[in-house]
């Protein structure tokens, strides 16, 4: 497959490709939901798809780790064994931006770390991922370059780049190769196509740059110095503790586990459901002690999970730079602004030493 | 959406039967439990299990018996809320579901050959009882053993008969205190820290194992450091809100540590600078 790594799909064949793809298994793609609002939803034709879109309201995690998923089914009868289950739905996702692919890579790491989470891992293996490159910035909230997510970095079966009259497509996996084969709309990429791709990438290298003034590799160090920064106090006053930022985050995966009985009270399920470290009871224990009682401590925890703890545990940032937390925040808390403040504050500290 | 059985699920439950229960105080109840076919739980002292009542919920509870006892294991449960109150309604012969054991318990291999200072506050005696009974089962493998126990009032004392027995033994030193005495109480009165200066230890070869309410830790650690026990020889067990036990749900996280997987037992040295720890 090595020399077949790049193929092209002419734009006039895109709709046929999508129709064909949607007949193979359930197909999900970004669709427009009114002005500047997009969502990943089931599609059956190319015209449903928004090829130019800013990050959807919810990221792809909703397919990999559904908002609510059943873990156990049980009967209330004495002696009955509870059965562990996984909810599965084979699907293809078309049009995932590099920030969202990065988000899935984060979740993959979390759930394949021991003890492995086979609910996630089994489901993940039924999902085919087709990426789509961002040729330009989506909007001013993104910070994907800072966290190394502005260029494709794997995590897909096929990766599409829009080059005007055609898409150039990177075939990464056997599954991707089979899609190319079975649909039959692709042609071999030649040198001129590769040159077009290189030109786009050159252009991107000029347009995309670190969105806050710091080298990425210095971020962990910045956070090492920032645990008692003023910014957290400031966030304390602004944060409404609604949990929107974690719900829309592609790499937030905290959950609650609950039980529920059906109306007959004979059968029940145990399910997990997205939860948020931003909510007050999240870290409260019996006796009422709460280890992250202040909103400042909870916001700080969110940022450290993205930029510091994940670096220790998984050697990568868990921020994918998608900008969703900023776009969704009702209190106008901005990730880029917070980082800027942290940088400023740490520079102030350096100055003070010299004065 | 298709639902299929998942053999490897981290949430799969094991059936267990309650062999015996005993009301210990107004709020705490003792349970002796056996897995199906009496298969061993195979835990380490200090580890915990998730106890399930399907339809009601699941809670983390420390195993409070020695792993040397293979046919069954013990739990001591304080009724504080939904699941623990429902557990209190169960009796011998009833079934529960469990998963686990989870977490890192006391580092037995490191403790062997050293002296031990065991400090339990209130319900902290539960996880420590698994350590203490393990030590008593293997008494000659350990050096000197001191046990200090403290609780609020004499009527809150857990495992009273066993404490009495430890008090009588010649191969360990035991002392206890209550915050508030009642008319029948003839022993020490005062917080547990008042017992520490009086214990005669060689700090360099002593490991301290401390479990109690969060507020106890700061005071006890100060005394232990004053005694000269090195920071990496002080072991603490933490209680946090827990849902999964698998290091995923995020509930139990202290900065970059997950108490359910990296703990619940920690070396003081490792966690002393974590601001959310105490
Ligand atoms: C490692 C570990 C070992 C433990 N060992 C024991 C033990 O040996 N004996 C014992 O009696 N208790 C033990 N606990 C505490 C026990 O897990 C909680 O008391 C129990 O989860 C409360 O659940 P509930 O449904 O009865 O109460 P709920 O109705 O859920 O809530 C009552 C209160 O408990 C808090 N809470 C809820 N869930 C948890 C949770 N999972 N962990 C802690 N607090 C929670 C709530 O915020 C609320 O304040 C241990 C906890 C941990 C983390
Ligand atoms: S209990 Fe879920 S992460 Fe520890």
Number of CB atoms found within 10 A of residue A242's CB: 15
Taking the CA of residue B247 as reference, the ligand 2 atom at the shortest distance is 3
DSSP SS3 for B255 = coil
DSSP SS3 for B27 = coil
Per-residue pLDDT at A213 exceeds 50: yes
Cα–Cα distance between B155 and B71 in angstroms, integer? Answer: 31
Buried b (16+ CB within 10 A) or exposed e, B53-85: bbbebbbbbbbbbbbebeebbbbbbbeeeebbe
Of B30, B48, B35, nearest in space to B91 by CA: B30
Taking the CA of residue B261 as reference, the ligand 2 atom at the shortest distance is 4
The pTM score is: 0.94
pLDDT confidence of residue A354: 67
| DSSP conformation class of B264 | B
Cα–Cα distance between A81 and A75 in angstroms, integer? Answer: 8
pLDDT confidence of residue A3: 53
Ligand 2 centroid to Cα of residue B184, in Å, is: 43
Of A18, A28, A312, A317, nearest in space to A153 by CA: A317
Phi, psi angles (nearest 5°) of residue A319: -90, 135
pLDDT confidence of residue A355: 64
Do the Cβ atoms of A259 and B241 come within 8 Å? no
pLDDT confidence of residue A291: 85
Which of B2, B5, B56 is nearest residue A84 as measured by Cβ atoms? B5
Pocket test for ligand 1, best of B63, B80, B130, B252 (most atoms within 8 A of CB): B80
Structural domain spans, chain B: 14-102, 108-237
Ligand 2 centroid to Cα of residue A104, in Å, is: 20
Pocket test for ligand 1, best of B33, B59, B159 (most atoms within 8 A of CB): B59
Average pLDDT over residues A105-123: 97
Of A309, A312, A227, nearest in space to B254 by CA: A309
pLDDT confidence of residue A62: 97
Ligand 1 centroid to Cα of residue B237, in Å, is: 14
Cα–Cα distance between B114 and B207 in angstroms, integer? Answer: 7
User: Which residues in chain B touch residue A116, judged by CB atoms under 8 angstroms apart?
Assistant: 8, 10
Of A216, A237, A238, A218, nearest in space to A226 by CA: A218
Do the Cβ atoms of B13 and A261 come within 8 Å? no
Ligand 1 centroid to Cα of residue B239, in Å, is: 8
Indicate if ipTM > 0.85: yes
Cα–Cα distance between A6 and A171 in angstroms, integer? Answer: 6
Residue B11, chain A, CB below 8 Å: the answer is yes
DSSP SS3 for B200 = coil
CATH fold of B14-102, please?
Elongation Factor Tu (Ef-tu); domain 3 (2.40.30)
Ligand 1 centroid to Cα of residue B14, in Å, is: 20
Residue B250, chain A, CB below 8 Å: the answer is yes
Confirm if B278 and A291 have CB atoms less than 8 A apart: no
Per-residue pLDDT at A206 exceeds 50: yes
Average pLDDT over residues A60-83: 94
Residue A119, chain B, CB below 8 Å: the answer is yes
| DSSP conformation class of B88 | H
Q: Which residue of B has its CA nearest to A314?
A: B256
B contact residues 80-109, partner A, Cβ 8 Å cutoff: 80-81, 84, 95, 97
pLDDT confidence of residue B80: 93
Number of CB atoms found within 10 A of residue A294's CB: 15
B contact residues 127-166, partner A, Cβ 8 Å cutoff: none
Ligand nearest to the CA of A280: 1
Per-residue pLDDT at A77 exceeds 90: no
Distance from CA of B139 to the nearest CA of A (A): 34
Residue A315, chain B, CB below 8 Å: the answer is no
Look at ligand 2, atom 3, and give the residue with the nearest C-alpha: B247
pLDDT confidence of residue A351: 72
Question: Cβ-count burial of B245 within 10 angstroms (0-12 exposed, 13-18 middle, 19+ buried)?
Answer: buried
Q: What is the pLDDT of residues A224-271, one digit of tens each?
A: 999 999 999 999 999 999 999 999 999 999 999 999 999 999 999 999
Cα–Cα distance between B203 and A5 in angstroms, integer? Answer: 65
Residue B273, chain A, CB below 8 Å: the answer is no
**Position with higher pLDDT, A321 vs A354:** A321
* DSSP annotation string for B91-126: -TT-EEEEEEEESB---HHHHTTSEEEEEEEGGGHH
Ligand 2 centroid to Cα of residue B228, in Å, is: 34
Q: What is the pLDDT of residues B19-74, one digit of tens each?
A: 999 999 999 999 999 999 889 999 999 999 999 999 999 999 999 999 999 999 99
A contact residues 235-294, partner B, Cβ 8 Å cutoff: 253-259, 261, 268, 270, 272, 275, 277, 282-287, 289, 291-292
Per-residue pLDDT at A1 exceeds 50: no
- Measured from the CB, is residue B240 less than 6 Å from ligand 2? no
CATH fold of B108-237, please?
Rossmann fold (3.40.50)
Do the Cβ atoms of A254 and B251 come within 8 Å? yes
Pocket of ligand 1 (CB under 6 A): A 281, 284-286, 288; B 48, 57, 59-62, 76-78, 80-84, 123, 126, 239-242, 264
Low-confidence ranges of chain B (pLDDT < 70): none
A289 pLDDT band (50/70/90 cuts)?
A: confident
User: Which residues in chain B touch residue A272, judged by CB atoms under 8 angstroms apart?
Assistant: 244, 249
Ligand 1 centroid to Cα of residue B269, in Å, is: 26
Structural domain spans, chain A: 5-66+87-207, 216-252+278-354
């Amino acid at each position: 497959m090595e020399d077949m790594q790049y193929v092209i799909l002419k734009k006039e064949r895109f709709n046929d490709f999508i129709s064909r793809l949607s007949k193979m298994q359930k197909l999900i793609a970004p669709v427009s939901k009114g002005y500047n609002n997009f969502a990943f939803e089931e599609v059956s034709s190319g015209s449903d798809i928004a090829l130019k879109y800013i990050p959807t309201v919810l990221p792809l995690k909703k397919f990999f780790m559904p908002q609510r998923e059943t873990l156990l089914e049980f009967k209330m009868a004495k002696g009955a064994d509870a059965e562990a289950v996984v909810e599965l739905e084979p699907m293809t996702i078309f049009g995932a931006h590099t920030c969202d692919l990065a988000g899935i890579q984060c979740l993959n790491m979390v759930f394949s770390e021991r003890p492995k989470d086979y609910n996630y891992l089994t489901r993940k293996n039924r999902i085919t991922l087709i990426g789509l490159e961002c040729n330009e910035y989506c909007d001013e909230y993104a910070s994907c370059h800072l966290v190394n997510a502005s260029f494709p970095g794997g995590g897909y079966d096929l990766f599409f780049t829009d080059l005007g009259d055609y898409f150039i497509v990177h075939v990464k996996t056997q599954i991707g190769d089979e899609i190319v084969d079975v649909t039959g709309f692709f042609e071999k990429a030649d040198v001129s196509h590769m040159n077009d791709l290189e030109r786009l990438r050159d252009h991107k290298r000029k347009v995309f740059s670190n969105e806050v003034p710091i080298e990425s590799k210095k971020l962990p160090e910045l956070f090492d110095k920032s645990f008692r920064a003023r910014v957290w106090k400031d966030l304390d006053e602004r944060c409404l503790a609604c949990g929107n930022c974690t719900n829309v985050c592609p790499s937030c995966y905290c959950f609650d586990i609950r039980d529920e009985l059906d109306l007959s009270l004979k059968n029940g399920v145990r399910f997990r459901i997205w939860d948020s470290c931003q909510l007050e009871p999240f870290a409260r224990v019996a006796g009422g002690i709460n280890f992250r009682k202040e909103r400042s401590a909870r916001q700080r925890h969110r940022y450290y999970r993205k930029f510091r703890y994940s670096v220790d545990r998984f050697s990568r940032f868990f921020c994918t730079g998608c900008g969703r937390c900023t776009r969704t925040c009702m209190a106008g808390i901005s990730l880029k602004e917070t980082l800027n403040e942290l940088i400023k504050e740490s520079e102030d500290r350096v100055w003070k030493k010299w004065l | 959406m298709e639902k299929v059985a998942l053999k490897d699920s981290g949430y799969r439950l094991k059936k267990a039967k309650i062999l015996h229960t005993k009301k210990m105080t107004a709020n705490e109840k003792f349970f002796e439990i056996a897995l199906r076919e009496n298969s061993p739980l195979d835990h380490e002292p200090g580890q915990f299990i998730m106890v399930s009542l399907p339809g009601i919920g699941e809670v983390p509870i420390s195993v409070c018996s020695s792993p040397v006892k293979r046919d069954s294991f013990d739990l001591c449960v304080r009724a504080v809320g939904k699941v623990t109150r429902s557990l209190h309604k169960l009796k011998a012969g009833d079934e529960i579901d469990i998963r686990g054991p989870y977490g890192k318990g006391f580092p037995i291999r490191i403790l062997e050959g050293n002296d031990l200072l065991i400090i339990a506050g209130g319900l902290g005696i539960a996880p420590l009882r698994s350590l203490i009974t393990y030590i008593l089962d293997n008494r000659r493998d350990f050096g000197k053993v001191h046990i200090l126990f403290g609780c609020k009032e004499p009527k809150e004392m857990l495992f009273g008969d066993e404490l009495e027995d430890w008090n009588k033994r010649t191969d360990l030193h035991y002392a206890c205190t209550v915050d508030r005495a009642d008319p029948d109480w003839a022993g020490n009165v005062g917080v547990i820290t008042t017992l520490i200066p009086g214990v005669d230890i060689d700090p360099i070869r002593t490991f301290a194992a401390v479990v109690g309410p969060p507020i106890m830790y700061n005071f006890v650690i100060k005394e232990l450091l004053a005694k000269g026990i090195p920071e990496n020889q002080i072991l603490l067990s933490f209680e946090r809100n827990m849902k999964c036990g698998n290091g995923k749900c995020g509930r139990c996280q202290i900065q970059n540590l997950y108490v359910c997987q990296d703990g619940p037992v920690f070396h003081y040295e490792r966690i002393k600078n974590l601001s959310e720890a105490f």
